[in-house]
Structure 1
Amino acid sequence: MTRLGAYGKGAFTRVREEVTAIDLQVTGVIPNDLDGRYLRNGPNPVGVEHAQFHYYLGAGMIHGVRLRSGRAEWYRNRWVRQSAVSSALKEKPPAYLVLGGMDGASNTNVIGHGGRILSLVEGGTLPFEVGGDLNTIGAHDFDGGLRSGISAHPKLDPSTGDLHTLGYFAGSQVADYNVISAAGQVVRSEPIDLPNRPMMHDFALTPRYIVVLDLPAVFSPLAAATRDPFPFRWNAKSKARLGLMPRDGAAKNITWFEIEPVWIYHTVNAFDLPNGVVMDVITHPSMFAKGRGLIEGHGMPSLERFTIDLVKGRVERARLDATPQEFPRIDERRVGLPHRFVYTASAPDLVQSWSAGPEDFAQLDDSRFDNIVYKHDLDQARSTGRRFGRDAAVGEAIFVPRREGTTVEDDGYLLCYVHDPDRGSSDLVILSAQDFEGPELARVHIPVRVPLGLHGSWIPAGVGDE
């Protein structure tokens, strides 16, 4: 019997059925230029996943709302059909290609690229293609171009349309830097040696470099030998380092910089300086230090800036905001370029061990921080929090630019799922990014609950079949 632990309760409680709801009720007015689907992925266990269940291992479920012509046409939630999911649902096993026998839960992100909608997870599993109705089409290897899957957080170069990614098998000492063209062809693959076998959830991209994160959350052969389903541990003896690899160079051209031990799930963005790179990130003091891959109790995540100086040969760290937060997003037209605005979500479940908290918390009227979306104006050094109702369980907020062709950063919308405890279900909330503290533009009422999950994207009309 599956043991769900802390991440099977409360806002994380799994849903047990797939739902299709048509012509959703809306409060407010949905902007007419929002023509597409907001999709978000996340673990939603089904069947017997493992006796030592870990949140990261739950079967992927994609939740989506289709917006068009000022209407919310539908809400759907669908499990990504993999072997374990089909078996648990007593369906015919899917026929698809797996890479190196890897069929891990595709539960972390969902993106659009090359005209396809792709469900992603790191660790060697191939992307899974889903249709516009969220039904699974199958594993996708870009015509045989992938050797190790792709990362959960690939980066789209806004100037070329190319998708850049780092892929690796859990436990491998090599990661593959892949470049996938706008047409969906792997046009470059460069192996990078990483002898410490780190977990790499993210990386960063600039016009000149990719930034590789080689941090002390590493694969543990001992944990693997005990059949731990998530065999990564914090190794205090392992060096923490950042690598700058020229985009037109090879792995042998990487310049490595040692830093103080830290854990980074998510980079915000990075951009070039004449003599280096600036990279904004969300940092954690450590991760998986308590064994069994536990996520909790590793100190407060905060927003920081790392300045990597090639001339001085060092990295300088500066804290931008100490409030516990995670899931950073930007206007993705600024990927690799200097950015002014960052949007994050409060992160209570990652900071269960904090006792007093920073002074920033004194103004808050309760001890729950799962109901706030933050907007950071880095040019003005100003951070604003938008609090939703108690027990709102707000997830990642994504930025969608207005369709009229504006190139102004922050000129667009923020979309996020928000739990409504009075209805026992969820809403898709649409905000003006520029008028962040103003009234909601629209609230799409979903007839069921959307659990807290991981990452998602705005998929414009025309990507994936309808």
Structure 2
Amino acid sequence: MSQSSSKGVDMASAVETLIRGVVSKAVAKISVFNRGRMKADKPNPYLTGIHAPMDAELTLDSLKVTGSIPSELDGRYIRNGPNQVAPENPAAYHWFLGDGMVHGVRLHGGKALWYRNRWIKSRKVTEALGLPDAPGPRNGAIDTVNTNVLGHAGETWAIVEAGGYPVRINEELETIASDPFGGTLKNAFTAHPNLDHDSGEMHAITYNADIADTIWHVVVDAKGKVRREEPIRVQDGPSIHGCMITKNHVIILDLPVTFSMKTFLAGHPFPYTWNPAHKARIGLLPKEGRSDDVIWCDVAPCYVFHPCNAFEAEDGTVIMDVCAHDTMFAESKIGPDSARVPFERWTIDPAARSTARMVIDPDSQEFPRPNETRIGKPYRFAYTVSLPDGVASPNESKLFKHDLEAGVRQVHDFGSGHIPGEFVFVPKQAAKAEDDGWLMGYVVNIAAQTTDLVILNAANFEAAPQAIIHIPHRIPPGFHGNWVAA
């Protein structure tokens, strides 16, 4: 391509992006009007049953405990997820767009000191609650932050993808401010950064819903400031929920779920759909590389929300383990709709520019987590949540432990009617083995309408829990959380 032709393509792309941003804002009122006209044929599963929102912020300082909480656990288990603050037209509501709410339990000295739940104070939430707006800049009109929460650089951050800035919250889970890392973030962030434990830096692949042709590789340093925000060229406005890192690379998941203006104009507030015309590919970006340095490798069409881990093999390939959805948002306008979600190992070959997919476990499962001190390095154990009845209508579920060296799967069964969410691995202070630590996460008891924070001994995975902290109400299923040490 000649230099003049290249400039013409770049100009056309820029004009398309500008029009997209202008149109998306201009049609917002039309979209709201159309949503108001929608009628629900049946109850929205993300607003009823186990997903019915909580209607109040609670502080409970007397929690019953079964078993013994390890005394070295000093910190908070906190998780973020959608929880509508005000009535919503059920026909238009999408699970991924619900108002953010964090739920946390403080552990110290072998005791559970408190449980708290707090809305992330977006403008919509503060208006509904009659509160002043939280301080800090916003990146656009929407500031809902509902997907993940983590500790970094001595602060606690609630985070989201598609353009929303991070929100800083305090030790008691109250919103402090919308905070783009002290003003150092210029574009979008993500709900799934990956911490490089060797450097202390977080790596993320981010996108903005108003921009179709650019994503970014963002690096947040150990002091909580953005030091790199490298634009990467793409097409069609792909939805990129997660990424992964290795020793030398950031792995980009450019898969066939993309922005759909047709869906948006029809009044659906979540405008991403399955797009078979969008080529599925995996990008290997050198950690300090630029857009032209990405090695793009073909992969059979599918969608991945969550990689578990990745590492570089001695033969030059990159190994990545993922939960792979056969399709995503092909039919449903309110939430995930894939039929199968096996756990797979992908071998990414930069020389052949191809990706080979191998099924580790054919059963549907999600929310994979490793011992995250092994992120980007060879590892042995992965922990996932089984999905026997799908995300929207769980009946009962189990936790899996995959021994990737032995090829063995262990199962922790919480019992009929007990629904676990994502579990997080917390290494012991003097850990000697990769699975020497605890797993913790929320488990809902459907019949009793209560929730337990369950702590398992990861090395004795199928045994009775180490401790169960009883919470006397149902916590709606959420997305992601982490252990934040004191």
| TM-score exceeds 0.5 | yes
Are 1:377 and 2:403 an aligned pair?
A: yes
Counterpart contact for 1:233–1:293, Cα < 8 Å? no
Q: 1:195: Cα distance to partner?
A: 1.3
Q: Is the 8 A contact 2:395 2:417 kept in 1?
A: no
Amino acid at match of 1:191: P
Does the residue aligned with 1:390 lie in a helix, a strand or coil?
Answer: coil
Q: Is the Cα–Cα contact under 8 Å of residues 440 and 453 in structure 2 kept in the other structure?
A: yes
Q: Distance in 2 between matches of 1:130 and 1:93?
A: 14
C-alpha separation in 1, matches of 2:396 and 2:148: 20
DSSP-derived class of the 1:344 partner: strand
Q: Which amino acid aligns with 2:413?
A: R
The answer on whether the counterparts of 2:417 and 2:447 sit within 8 Å (CA) in structure 1 is: no
Residue number in structure 2 paired with 1:426: 451
In structure 2, the partner of 1:295 is 336
Tell me how far 1:6 sits from its aligned partner.
1.1
Q: Structure 2 regions of 5+ residues with no counterpart?
A: 1-35
Query: Do the aligned residues in 2 keep the contact of 1:324 with 1:351 (CA within 8 Å)?
Result: no
Match of 2:18 in 1: none
Match of residue 230 from structure 1: 270
Within the alignment, does 1:396 sit opposite 2:435 as a pair? no
Q: CA 1:326/1:65 → structure 2, altered by over 3 Å: closer, same or farther?
A: same
Q: Conserved in 2, the CA contact under 8 Å of 1:161 and 1:181?
A: yes
CA contact (8 A) 1:299 1:351 kept: no
Alignment of 1:241-280 (within 5 A): 241-274=281-314, 275-280=316-321
1:319 aligns with 2:345: no
Distance 2:432 2:204 in 1: 25
Matched with 1:464 is none
Give, in whole Å, the separation in 2 of the partners of 1:92 and 1:295.
Answer: 34
Aligned match for 1:77, one of 117, 121, 131? 117
1:293, distance to aligned residue in structure 2 (A): 5.0
Q: Displacement of 1:348 after TM fit?
A: 3.9
The residue that corresponds to 1:121 in the other structure is: 160
Shift of 1:98: 0.5
- Structure 1: how far apart are the matches of 2:349 and 2:146? 36
Q: How many pairs align? A: 444
Query: Considering only aligned residues, what root-mean-square deviation do their CA atoms show, in Å?
Result: 1.8
- Partner SS state of residue 336, structure 1: coil
SS at match of 1:111: strand
2:433 corresponds in structure 1 to 408
Q: Does the aligned pair in 1 maintain the 2:181–2:224 contact within 8 Å?
A: yes
Equivalent runs, 1:103-142 vs 2, <5 Å? 103-142=142-181
> Does the CA contact (< 8 Å) of 1:175 and 1:191 recur in 2?
yes
Q: Where do 5+ consecutive residues of structure 1 fail to align?
A: 353-366, 462-466
1:40-119 matched pairs, under 5 angstroms: 40-49=79-88, 52-99=92-139, 101-119=140-158
2:228 match: 188
Query: Cα offset for 1:371?
Result: 2.3
Which residue identity is paired with 1:154? P
- Residue 358 of structure 1: aligned partner: none
- For 1:160-199, what aligned pairs fall within 5 Å after superposition? 160-172=199-211, 173-199=213-239
Structure with more helix by fraction: 2
TM-score by length of 2: 0.88
Would you say the 8 A contact 2:388–2:397 is kept in 1? no
Corresponding position: 1:283 with 2:324: yes
Using structure 1 for the length normalisation, give the TM-score: 0.92
Structure-2 change in CA distance of 1:325 and 1:397 (3 Å) = same
Indicate the residue corresponding to 1:449 in structure 2.
474
Does the alignment pair 1:11 with 2:50?
yes
Q: CA deviation at 1:224?
A: 2.3
Contact 1:127 1:149 in 2 (8 A): no
Q: Is the 8 A contact 2:297 2:350 kept in 1?
A: no
Alignment of 1:342 with 2:342, yes or no, is: no
Whether the 8 Å CA contact 2:394–2:419 is kept in 1: the answer is: no
Q: Which residue of 2 aligns with 1:205?
A: 245
- Cα offset for 1:334? 0.3
Is residue 386 of structure 1 aligned with residue 426 of structure 2?
no
What are the superposed Cα offsets for residues 82-103 of structure 1, whole Å, 9 maximum, x if unpaired? 100111112222232102x143
Post-superposition offset of 1:171: 4.0
The answer (yes or no) to whether the contact 2:347–2:357 under 8 Å persists in 1 is yes
The answer to whether the 8 A contact 1:263-1:285 is kept is yes
The answer to whether the 8 Å contact 2:123/2:143 transfers is no
